[in-house]
Structure 1
Amino acid sequence: MMNYEQFKEQFKDDLKKSLEAEGYKIERIDVIPNTKLQHGEYDAITVRLEDSMVGPSGNLENFFDIYEKSNGNYDTVLGHVTEKFADAIENVPGYDVNQLKDYEFIKDKLVLDVVNAEKNEAILNEIPHKKLADLAVVYRAQLGRDGDGIATVLINNMMLEAMGVTPEQLHKDAVAIAPEIRPVEVNTLMGEIIELTGAEIPGFEVGGPEDQILVGTVKDKMHGACVLAYPEFLDNMAAQNGGSFYIIPSSIHEVLMVPESLGTDPKALQEMIETVNATELRPEDILSDKLYHYDAKERLFELAEDYQQRTAEKELKPERESAVKKLKDKEIQVSKEPKREIKPKVKDRGEQAI
């Protein structure tokens, strides 16, 4: 079997020949270091078509991983990737790259994405974003569809500067148009399970917890955690949940909302998040290891641990105020009492100095 460096050099050349054999005119194929949200740094293999400034790309490290897991079945991997790139080429959006500097072209294509701020710290320095607790809201232009689904371009600081738009204006426009392009879809956890499995699960009862926990995503269920940044979404969910609720970041694709009225232990929810992230999800699909909370009264989205601390401080505050009030009342009471006349003490003659 080849090592990664050997695979990289051979695969680049063979993919070009394979695509050309399919009838595509390939100018060149490059392997370049790249940074992608939720993925970190990786080697991207990019295909540049003749007479075109755009082309599909993929994660070469993922392809090498498939090669290793297939016990070195190189031809099968090459065939799979060739088919994947051919499909992407057929669906490359028809636009001029210069249009990415035109805000009028971009504006009505804006969508949102919500990612982990700490995990994506390096790339967040290069793109406009807005903090949401320990998460970050970022902005994309949805240009069409490619072989894998939706084709988007991540808005970066250079693009924003070229378009002459402020981050504040970008956010305002994005939150207005994104819900129209990628509308919210809400289902109960029970309804979601039935939709996925085609059958009810024994032990799940109508009206039970699974029928009260809500699942929030978007219509195509891809990168659906973005609904957390949609205006009025959290308020609407509070109304549907009957008040404040906890939020489980199920993945970057969806979030679960657990009503406070269920009386679920936040520690149990936190432990569940950590277990699922460690055992069930791919690293790139993990949104956060933290539990969140939405305070319907304060209209505040925050980490559950911050909510608990804030609540504890509120409970202590009346006690402190009560103690201070007692002291002030005592001072007032003392001040209203009649002052006793203090007479000077007269010494006995025996105490007088001779």
Structure 2
Amino acid sequence: MLDKFYEVNDFTAFNKQVKHRLEKSMGDEYDILLHTVTKNNGGRSEGIIIRKKDGYFAHNLYLEGLYKKYIKGMPMEDAVKELEKAYYEAFSNKAENTIDLNSYEQIKDNIFYRIVNYERNKEILSEIPYLPFLDLAVTFHCLVQNKSENLSSIHITYRHLIMWGINVKTVTEQAMENTPRIFPAKINTLEEVIGEIAFETAFPGFQPMYVITNAIGINGAGCLLYKGVIKQVAEIAGGDFYILPSSIHEIIAIKDSGFINKEELASMVKEVNTSQVAEEDYLSDSVYYYCIEEKRIIKIQ
């Protein structure tokens, strides 16, 4: 009874038990490895990697969701079967979904970028190539699966660059070319996104606000760097505009009417980040500004 209580209420013990049972059920043909994944803004997620010893295919499965099912009553054997099923399904689809990461020619069209907060990602930025941008960082990734039900990618590290025989300039150029194609930009008014009544209630007296993201709404803040997007927003807004980092998924543009209080904007950004944005989705507390005449984005708050 005490063993059961400890097992149910201890995530680390659960992970070890899952690993042990997978090793037993799948046999010596497979390597089973527990590992910790560093996520955006320093978050951590526990996963398990299953890899057949005589092949290069490996599949990572996160364990937090499965543990929640377990403590709600899912039997341990069912949890293990769920992991096995997920692995075999991924393995059966590998010919369609898996690319050879050893070949730059095979992966170069799948390279894309994201923008993240610099300060909160210092640890992982020490291990990967990136470009500084204001108080943000542009990071590079390789898309390994792009389906509506499953979007999978990996960070591009310095080891990848060495293996492919390329430098940061090359990966930057490739990412800048690919990202708008893989994840096309999408611009809507905030009223269109949340509804006119909700907009008037939340932002009484504000100028029109424009939401800039990509077609799938995931990591869409990177559209800020798409060639032509900022110019398009300036044309729609009809002049210079403020940029609010809503999250890593989208940014908001507000035309500079000449009457907007910068301090109020900064306060609003911080309040929204604190009360409504998940830690892993946080981008910045800063307020940015685009000047048509200077053709550049600056950080003002």
TM-score clears 0.5: yes
Task: Give the drift of 1:179.
Answer: 0.8
Segment of structure 1 superposing worse, 291-300 or 116-125: 291-300
Secondary structure class of the residue paired with 1:261: coil
The structure with the largest alpha-carbon Rg is 1
Q: Distance in 2 between matches of 1:176 and 1:202?
A: 37
Query: Which residue identity lines up with residue 230 of structure 1 in the other structure?
Result: Y
Counterpart residue number, 2:212:
216
Identity of aligned residues (%): 28
Taking the TM superposition and a 5 Å limit, the aligned residue runs for 1:190-201 are 190-194=191-195, 201=197
Secondary structure class of the residue paired with 1:115: strand
Secondary structure class of the residue paired with 2:58: coil
Change in 2 beyond 3 A, CA 1:171/1:192: same
Q: Distance in 1 between matches of 2:257 and 2:237?
A: 9
Query: Which residue identity lines up with residue 263 of structure 1 in the other structure?
Result: F
Taking the TM superposition and a 5 Å limit, the aligned residue runs for 1:325-344 are none
Higher share in strand? 2
Task: Give the drift of 1:63.
Answer: 4.7
Native 8 Å contact 2:142 2:154 kept in 1 = yes
Q: Distance in 2 between matches of 1:36 and 1:13?
A: 26
- CA-to-aligned-CA distance 1:111-137 (integer Å, 9 cap, x gap): 111111111111112111111101111
Change in 2 beyond 3 A, CA 1:192/1:172: same
Counterpart residue number, 1:7:
14
Counterpart residue number, 2:267:
271
Native 8 Å contact 2:190 2:208 kept in 1 = yes
Q: In structure 2, list runs of 5 or more residues that go unmatched.
A: none
Q: TM-score, normalised by structure 1?
A: 0.71
Q: Distance in 2 between matches of 1:184 and 1:137?
A: 17
- CA-to-aligned-CA distance 1:223-273 (integer Å, 9 cap, x gap): 111111212222221222112211111111111111112733222222222
Counterpart residue number, 1:285:
281
Taking the TM superposition and a 5 Å limit, the aligned residue runs for 1:56-135 are 56-61=59-64, 63-64=66-67, 66=68, 72-75=72-75, 78=79, 82=83, 88-89=90-91, 91-92=93-94, 94=96, 99-135=100-136
Q: In structure 1, list runs of 5 or more residues that go unmatched.
A: 195-199, 306-354
Change in 2 beyond 3 A, CA 1:180/1:59: same
Secondary structure class of the residue paired with 1:297: coil
Taking the TM superposition and a 5 Å limit, the aligned residue runs for 1:155-304 are 155-194=156-195, 201=197, 204=200, 212-261=208-257, 263-304=259-300
Q: Distance in 2 between matches of 1:278 and 1:25?
A: 48
Q: Whose relative contact order is higher, 1 or 2, with alpha carbons under 8 Å and at least 6 apart?
A: 2
- CA-to-aligned-CA distance 1:258-302 (integer Å, 9 cap, x gap): 111273322222222222222222211111122222222212212
Native 8 Å contact 1:93 1:144 kept in 2 = no
- CA-to-aligned-CA distance 1:321-344 (integer Å, 9 cap, x gap): xxxxxxxxxxxxxxxxxxxxxxxx
Native 8 Å contact 1:116 1:134 kept in 2 = yes
Secondary structure class of the residue paired with 2:120: coil
Q: Distance in 2 between matches of 1:17 and 1:262?
A: 68
Q: TM-score, normalised by structure 2?
A: 0.82
Secondary structure class of the residue paired with 2:257: helix
